[in-house]
Structure 1
Amino acid sequence: MKKLSPVFIISSAITLIFIIWGALVPENLSSVTSVIQTFLQGNFGWLYLTAATAFLVFLLYLAFSRYGQIRLGKDTDKPEFSTFTWLAMVFSAGMGIGLVFWGAAEPISHFHNPPFGKGESAESAALAMRYSFFHWGFHAWAIYAITGLAIAYFAFRKGASQVPSEILRPILGNKVDGGLGRAINVIFIMATVFAISGPLGMGATQISGGISYLTGIQNNFTTQVIVIGVVTVLFMLSAKTGLERGIKYLSNTNVILAIFLLVFVFFTGPTTFILNVFTSSFGDYIQNLPNMSLNQRPFEQSSWFQDWTVFYWAWWVAAAPFAGSFIARVSKGRTVREFVLGVLIVPTIFGILWFSVFGGTAISLEMFDHFGVKEIMENQGVEVALFTILKGLPLGTIISFLGILLIGTFFITTADSGTYVLAMQSTNGNLNPSNSMKFIWGILQSLTAVILLWSGGLGAIVSALIIIGFPLAIILILTMFSLLKSFKNEAEKKSFNEEKEKVS
C-alpha cells in the first residue's frame, strides 16, 4: 500500500474512536448523539428546508440555461455507460435500500399519525402519500445532484483531483490545499461512513425481520450481525471486480428485481386503487410542492416536521458525499442538462411509482380490509411492513423471499459503492483505489453499522446522520456559489475566444 494520506489517517482514527466508544459505553453514545440531534432538528430545520429548495431551483436554472450544454468532461468525451445502466447505478447507490424499507412503512405511519388533521381518515391517507412523495422526491435528489454535479464538473471538466475540497476552490482558492481542505475532506468521509452504515443497519434489520416473519427465527441483534457479516463478505468480493463488472451488473440486477416486484404487487394488489392513488397523489404533490418546500407549520405545537421532513433532509445531506461522489464517477461525458434532468426526474418518478404501489397497497389493506399493518409493525418492527403486505398476496411467501433477495442485492451494491467512494476520497481522489484500501473501509463501515445497532438501533443511526449533516449543509450551500462562479468564468472565456476568432 502506498503512503497513507493525512485525510485517511484522521478519518479512520475518528471512525475507530466512534466504534470503540459505542462498543464500551453504548448508552452514553446513544444519549449524547440524541441530545445533539434534538438541538439541531429543533433549531436548524429552517436551514435544511431552505437549502434543499435552493438546490432544486438552482439545478433547474442550470439545466435550462446556457450552462446546460457544458459537458462533464472534455467536449469530445462520451458517456462510459448506457443510459439504462447509468440510471440503474444512480438509483441503486442513492436510495435502493431506503425505498424498500420505507415503501410501505412510511405511508402507513403517516396515515395513522399525519402532519396535521385527524389520523385514519381519507385526508390523512392523501397526506400520507403526498409527504412520502415529498420526502423521497425532487428535493432529495437535488441534494445528491448538487454534490455529484460539482464533483464531476471539477474532476472531469477542470481536471482537478476527485476530492471533495476541490469543489470549493473557486471561492476558497489555495486554502483547500491546507488544513481547511483536509477538514472538508474528513467531514465528507465521515458523512459517507455514517450514510452507508445507516442503510446497512436498516438493510440488516429488514432482512433479519423478513426472515423472522417468514420462518419464525428470532429477529435480534445477533441475527442482524450475522446478516451484516455475510453481506460484508459478499460486497468485499464484489468490490474487487471494480465498477465495470461488480457494481454495474449488480445495479442492473437490482433494478430488474425491483421492477419485477413492483409489477407483481401492482397486478396482484388493488390495481385500480393504486392507479387512482398514483394520479391523484402525484397531482397533489406537484400542486403543493412550493408550500411543502418551506413550511414547518411553526404555529402548531407539533414535532412532526422535525421528526420526518427535517430528518430526511439531514439524511439526504449526510448521504450526499457518498451518493454524489459515486454519481459523479459514473457520469463522465454527460452534459449538465442530461445530468440534472436524469438525476432529478427519473429516480423521482420511480420512487413515486414505488410508494404508489407499496404504500397504496398498505393503505388499502389498512382502510378497507382492516389488515392491521400498523399493529404488526408495532409488535414486530417497522422492518416487517413490506413482508406483511407481500404475504397477503398470491404466492406471498415466495415473493417475500424475492424481496429479501432484492434487499440483499441493494445492500451489497450500496456497501460496494460506498467502499469505492471511501477508498477514492481517502487516496487523494484516485479513481482506481487499491483493493486493500477498499477492504479497510469495508470492515470499518460494517463495524460502524454494528455499533449503531448495538448502541440504539435505528434511533442511533438517525442521530448520527443528522449530526454529520449539519456542517455538510453549509458546505453544499457554498458549493452552489462555487459552481456558479466557475460556470460564469467558463462562459465568459468561451465568449471571449469566439469574439477573438471572429476578429481574426
Structure 2
Amino acid sequence: MKQRLIDWPTFIGAFVLLLVVTIPLIRYPELGKEFVGMANTFMTTNFGVLYLVMGLVIFSFLLYVAFSKNGHVKLGNEGEKPEFNSFSWAAMLFAAGIGSSILYWSVIEWVYYYQGPPFGVEAESQEAIQWATAYGIFHWGPIAWAIYTLPALPIAYFYYVRKKPVLKVSEAIRPVLGKWVDGPLGKLIDILFIFGLLGGAGTTLALGTPMIAEGVNHLTGIPVTLWVQAVIMLVCTTIFAVSAYSGLKRGIKLLSDINLWLALFILAYILVVGPTRFIVETTFNSVGILLDNFFKMATWAEPFGNLGGFSETGFPEGWTVFYWAWWLVYAPFVGLFVARISRGRTIREMIFGTMVYGTLGCVLFFGIMGNFGLYLQLTGGFDAISYMNEFGPAATIIAIIAQLPFSDLLVGLFTILAVIFLATTFDSSSFILASVVQKEVEDEPLRWNRLFWAFSLCIMPLSLMFLGGLDTLQTTSIVGGFPLIFIMFLLAWSFMKASNRDITASDDYEAPTIYIKRWRKKKKRSALEVLKENDPDRKE
C-alpha cells in the first residue's frame, strides 16, 4: 500500500536525469567541463538582465502580498497556533536555506570584492573596502530570501488552506495550468526542480567538505586528501540521514536548534574578544551603504562593457547574476520546506519572518566574521589575501578563525558548526525530495524514501569530487535551472489566482475563515447571517 504513494515517473525520471548528466561528466570530465562552462557563459551573459529583473520583481511582489488582504490568510485552521515556536522556526528555515556555505563565504567573500570591486572602482582602495563590506550582505540579503520565499506561498496555501496533502511544485501551479500538471508537463516541472536541488546540494558539499577537512587538519594534523574529504562527506551524510529518518519534529528540529545556539555563541565570542568597535561600526556602515544603493546594486548590468573606453569587469555576471541563479535553483526546495514548517502562521508572517530572519542572520555572519577578517588584513594582523592566493580559500577560513584567543577550541567549534550546518541543509533536502516524489504526504514522507534521497545527495558529489568536477555539476544545475525563472512567475500567478478566488468567493463558502471573522466584526453580525445574506435560499 505504501509503495502506491510513490510517484514513480517523477522518482525514476529525476534519478535518471541526474545519471544522464553526471555519467558523461565522469567519463569525459574535461570536455564536459568546457561544454558546461560555455553554456553557463551564454546564459549569464545573454540572459543576465532577466535574472536581475526576476529578483526585483519577486521582492516587490512579496511586499505587495504581505500588505494585501492575501497576507492575512492563516495557514491552517482559524485559531490554530504555530506548529513550531519562533526560535525553532527561524532556526530551521535559516539552516535549510543557507547551510555551511554561509560559513565559507561570510569569512572570505570580502577578499574577492576588495580585489575586484564593482562599478569600476580601483582595486584595494578605500572605496573598494566600502563595497567589499556591503556586497556580501546584498547578495545574501532581502532579494535572496524573497526568491526563497515565493514558492512557499502557493505550496503552503494548497497544503494548509485547501487541505491538499501534496507537496509538489507542479501541484502549486494547478490553478494556472489545470489538468496539464497531471501529465508529462507536471512531471517535467518536478523533475527539473529535483535535478536543480541535487546539483545545488553538490555545490554546498563542495564548499563545506574542504573547509571541514582543513579544520580537522588544524586540530589533528591529518593532511587534507581526497580520501579524508570522502570520509568527512560520508560522516556528514550519515548524520543527516539519521536526522531525516528521525523526522521533522525530532531530528531536523533538534539539529537546527543546536546549530543556531552554537552559531550565536561563536558570533558572540568573535564580537566580544575581537575588534568589537570596528565590527559594529563597519557592519552598521555596510547596512547604510546597502540601503542607500539597494536599487543601484540590484539593477547594475554593466551595459557599456568595453565601449567608450570603459573597462569590463564581469562583476554582475560573476556575482549578482550567479547568486540569483544559485538561489533560484534552491528556491523550490527552501519554499517547500518553509511551507511545511509554517503551519499556524499567516502568509504575512511567513513572508516577513523568512525575509527578516534570513537577512538578519546573514548580516550577523558577514558583519562579524567577514569584518573580523577584514580587520586583520587592514591592521597587518594576518594577510588573508596573500594566504588565500597561496593556500586557497578553505585553508584561509580556518587560518582566520585561528587568529582568535583559544584558537583550537574555536576552530573545533567552527568545524562542528560546519558539519551541523551541512547536515541541517541536507536532512531538509532529503525530506523535501522524498515529499516531491510521493503522491500524498499526510504528515511526513516514507522513511525509506527519505533515506534513499539522503544518500543520493552524497553519491554523485562524492563521485565527481575525485575527478575535480564538483564545480561543473554546480554550473550544470544552474544552467538546467534556467526554466525555473518562468516557473517562479507561474507560482506567483497561481497563488494570486487561487487566493483571490477563495477570498472573493461567497457562493461555495470556501473563503478562509479569517475573512468571515472580519466580516462579522465589521458588520456586527453572526457568520450565519453573513452567509444567508449572500445566499437567501441557504438552509440553516
- Band of TM-score, shorter chain: over 0.9
- Residues 1:358 and 2:363 are matched in the alignment: no
- Residues 1:286 and 2:291 are matched in the alignment: yes
* Residue of structure 2 in register with 1:85 after alignment: 88
Deviation at 1:371?
A: 1.7
* Residue of structure 2 in register with 1:32 after alignment: 35
- Residues 1:153 and 2:152 are matched in the alignment: no
- Residues 1:218 and 2:229 are matched in the alignment: no
Deviation at 1:402?
A: 0.6
CA 1:242/1:191 → structure 2, altered by over 3 Å: closer, same or farther? same
Alignment of 1:256-405 (within 5 A): 256-300=261-305, 301-369=312-380, 371-405=382-416
Judge conservation of contact 2:181–2:187 (CA < 8 Å) in 1.
Answer: yes
Match of 2:252 among 237, 242, 247: 247
- Residues 1:432 and 2:444 are matched in the alignment: yes
* Residue of structure 1 in register with 2:455 after alignment: 443
* Residue of structure 2 in register with 1:232 after alignment: 237
CA deviation map 1:21-55 (0-9, x unaligned): 33333223322221211111111111111111111
Deviation at 1:320?
A: 0.9
- The AA in structure 2 aligned to 1:426 is V
* Residue of structure 1 in register with 2:18 after alignment: 15
Rounded to whole Å, the distance in 2 between the matches of 1:494 and 1:377 is 64
* Residue of structure 2 in register with 1:61 after alignment: 64
Rounded to whole Å, the distance in 2 between the matches of 1:249 and 1:469 is 31
Of structures 1 and 2, the larger Rg is shown by 2
Match of 1:126 among 127, 130, 137: 130
* Residue of structure 1 in register with 2:425 after alignment: 414
SS at match of 1:456: coil
Judge conservation of contact 2:236–2:419 (CA < 8 Å) in 1.
Answer: yes
Rounded to whole Å, the distance in 2 between the matches of 1:94 and 1:47 is 23
Where do 5+ consecutive residues of structure 2 fail to align?
A: 306-311, 510-518, 520-529
Rounded to whole Å, the distance in 2 between the matches of 1:233 and 1:124 is 43
Moved more, 300-309 or 129-138: 300-309
Judge conservation of contact 2:94–2:358 (CA < 8 Å) in 1.
Answer: yes
- The AA in structure 2 aligned to 1:146 is L
CA 1:303/1:68 → structure 2, altered by over 3 Å: closer, same or farther? same
* Residue of structure 1 in register with 2:212 after alignment: 207
Match of 1:186 among 160, 174, 191: 191
What TM-score, normalized to structure 1?
0.96
CA 1:355/1:461 → structure 2, altered by over 3 Å: closer, same or farther? farther
CA 1:232/1:96 → structure 2, altered by over 3 Å: closer, same or farther? closer
Moved more, 390-399 or 82-91: 390-399
Moved more, 391-400 or 454-463: 454-463
Deviation at 1:442?
A: 1.7
Judge conservation of contact 1:239–1:246 (CA < 8 Å) in 2.
Answer: yes
Moved more, 65-74 or 128-137: 65-74
Aligned residue pairs: how many? 504
Moved more, 301-310 or 370-379: 370-379
CA 1:373/1:414 → structure 2, altered by over 3 Å: closer, same or farther? same
Deviation at 1:455?
A: 3.9
SS at match of 1:240: helix
Alignment of 1:448-459 (within 5 A): 448-457=460-469, 459=471
Q: What's the Cα RMSD here?
A: 1.8
- The AA in structure 2 aligned to 1:123 is E
CA 1:325/1:455 → structure 2, altered by over 3 Å: closer, same or farther? farther
CA 1:218/1:379 → structure 2, altered by over 3 Å: closer, same or farther? farther
CA 1:494/1:120 → structure 2, altered by over 3 Å: closer, same or farther? farther
Judge conservation of contact 1:62–1:337 (CA < 8 Å) in 2.
Answer: yes
Rounded to whole Å, the distance in 2 between the matches of 1:477 and 1:437 is 30
Rounded to whole Å, the distance in 2 between the matches of 1:73 and 1:369 is 56
Deviation at 1:179?
A: 0.9
- The AA in structure 2 aligned to 1:15 is L
Deviation at 1:64?
A: 0.9
Rounded to whole Å, the distance in 2 between the matches of 1:311 and 1:392 is 31
CA deviation map 1:460-482 (0-9, x unaligned): 24413321321111100221111
* Residue of structure 2 in register with 1:101 after alignment: 104
SS at match of 2:328: helix
SS at match of 2:47: helix
CA deviation map 1:105-134 (0-9, x unaligned): 101221122123112122111101211111
Bigger helix fraction: 1
Deviation at 1:496?
A: 9.4
What TM-score, normalized to structure 2?
0.90
CA deviation map 1:423-466 (0-9, x unaligned): 11111242422222122212211012223433435532441332
* Residue of structure 1 in register with 2:78 after alignment: 75
Rounded to whole Å, the distance in 1 between the matches of 2:439 and 2:449 is 12
Deviation at 1:16?
A: 2.7
Judge conservation of contact 1:36–1:467 (CA < 8 Å) in 2.
Answer: yes
- Residues 1:477 and 2:489 are matched in the alignment: yes
> Sequence identity of aligned pairs in percent?
34
Judge conservation of contact 1:26–1:454 (CA < 8 Å) in 2.
Answer: no
- Residues 1:493 and 2:536 are matched in the alignment: no
Judge conservation of contact 1:254–1:409 (CA < 8 Å) in 2.
Answer: yes
Deviation at 1:154?
A: 1.6
- Residues 1:140 and 2:140 are matched in the alignment: no
Rounded to whole Å, the distance in 1 between the matches of 2:135 and 2:474 is 19
Deviation at 1:370?
A: 5.4
- The AA in structure 2 aligned to 1:234 is I
SS at match of 1:470: coil
Deviation at 1:78?
A: 2.6
Rounded to whole Å, the distance in 1 between the matches of 2:210 and 2:190 is 30
Judge conservation of contact 1:147–1:321 (CA < 8 Å) in 2.
Answer: yes
- The AA in structure 1 aligned to 2:465 is L
Deviation at 1:104?
A: 1.2
CA 1:269/1:373 → structure 2, altered by over 3 Å: closer, same or farther? same
